[in-house]
Structure 1
Amino acid sequence: MVPRSPETPRSERAAVPRNGLSDAPDATLAQRAADGDTVAFGELVRRHGGYLRAFAIRLTGSAADADDAVQETLIAAWERLDTLSDPAAVRGWLTSILSRKATDRLRKRRPTDGVIGTEPTEVEPVAPEAGPDERAVRDARLAALGRALDSLPATERQCWVLREISGHSYDEIAEQLGVSSSTVRGALARARTAVMAKMEEWR
């Protein structure tokens, strides 16, 4: 584990909300976790773990690879938390680490390894305050998006996920997937066209 920065005086540490860590903002949890607070880190994992796994499944098309990539991501994140410059942006930071871990696994995979499965397609949790009707519509829309992504060739799906969900640049995607930027642009254009066509009824 990397050395922690000098201990922050108690008066300067992120305050814990009266209701406990479950109500603490991400920035507070990340700051406390960087100081070695395993409970705070556990809350971050609980809060973002489902999103990370769904993202990894969409990227790799394999539940087994997704689980391994998420585990590697969490280990790396725990060791590097003191390098996080913006604690409030912890989800984006975790997603960036995960995208690298997932694409590393894709490079190592044999061409015949794994196919896209029927795992949950949700990549953004439904707001707790959403009513039953809203949740039903959201679930149906996410299922349709998942089917649309599952129908794409692997490179197109990976480019779409890294760009549309993770917000990576074309050059970053090219570096992660080991292809040219022009290949990324072409794959992304085809993926967007296919996804828009399949999601037409939801527009």
Structure 2
Amino acid sequence: MSIDLTEAADGTLASRAAEGDERAFEVLLRRHLGLMTAYATRLTSSRADASDAVQEASITIWRELPGLQTPDAVRGWMMTIVSRKAFDLIRRRRPAADVDELEVPSTDGAHDDPERRAQSSDAMVALRQALDRLPAAQRRVWTMREVGGESYADIAERTGSSVTAVRGQLARARESLTREMEAWR
């Protein structure tokens, strides 16, 4: 008899996967794959590089899960690994020129209402454009914090700056985005 793991909490899945349960790992990975891919795409500006980063991250996640001390924090831990792999790719090679549109899955039922779907799509286009207008350092810090959920200390370590500098860049990015997205509130 197989157990349905689709409703299991992330921490439960992480614990089971750490013990070698491949099905639990598949459910955990599938649950967060869209977010991991969107995050890596935003960091690398390349769908191809993002796919490579997520694939490398998935292998690392499987290998390092037994050492995870806090299974309930697995999502943030996974996003940190995706971030590292994305930055490793950026350092190793220039991003590919085939940048695709960032696809963000709808979770608010907007897919049922064409008008809401169009408004949501327009808002996402406006957000992408506003993000593209940010200085690269601010965009990277904003993405790592708001999309990846990384801590200020982790961002500072990965970007080679101080926590104070990260907070400043993030504050400026948030201020700019709030101002530019005011019409969408």
Where is the helix percentage greater, Structure 1 or Structure 2? 2
Aligned-partner residue type, residue 90 of structure 1 = V
1:121, distance to aligned residue in structure 2 (A): 4.2
Q: Are positions 1:22 and 2:6 aligned together?
A: yes
Q: 2 CA distance for matches of 1:116 and 1:156?
A: 23
Matched, 1:104 2:88: yes
Tell me the equivalent position of 2:124.
142
* Matched position secondary structure for 2:20: coil
TM-score under structure 1 normalisation?
0.75
Question: Alpha-carbon deviations, 1:111-146, whole Å to 9, x = none?
Answer: xx4468332242xx4337666239624444333322
Aligned residues: 182
Letter matched to residue 106 of structure 2? V
RMSD (CA atoms): 2.7
* Residue of structure 2 equivalent to 1:126: 106
Structure 2 residue aligned with 1:82: 66
After superposition, give the CA deviation of every residue in 1:140-161 in whole Å (9 maximum; x if it has no partner).
4333322322333332211111
Aligned residue in 2 for 1:12? none
Identity of aligned residues (%): 49
1:78-114 deviation digits (Å, cap 9, x = unpaired) = 011112223233211111111122122223334xx44
2:160 maps to 178
* Alpha carbons 1:174, 1:184 under 8 Å: kept: yes
Larger Rg: 1
Structure 1 residue aligned with 2:175: 193
Q: Which residue does 1:163 correspond to in 2?
A: 145
Q: Distance in 2 between matches of 1:121 and 1:181?
A: 30
Distance 1:34 1:171, change over 3 A: closer
Give me the whole-angstrom Cα distance separating, in 1, the residues matched to 2:121 and 2:163: 34
Residue pair 1:126, 1:135 contacting (<8 A) in 2 also = no
Moved over 6 A (4+): none
TM-score of the superposed pair, with normalisation by structure 2: 0.81
Q: Which amino acid aligns with 2:13?
A: L
1:58 is the counterpart of 2:38:
no
Letter aligned with residue 60 of structure 2: A
Query: CA–CA distance in 1 between the matches of 2:51 and 2:157?
Result: 23
State the distance in 2 between where 1:148 and 1:40 align.
38
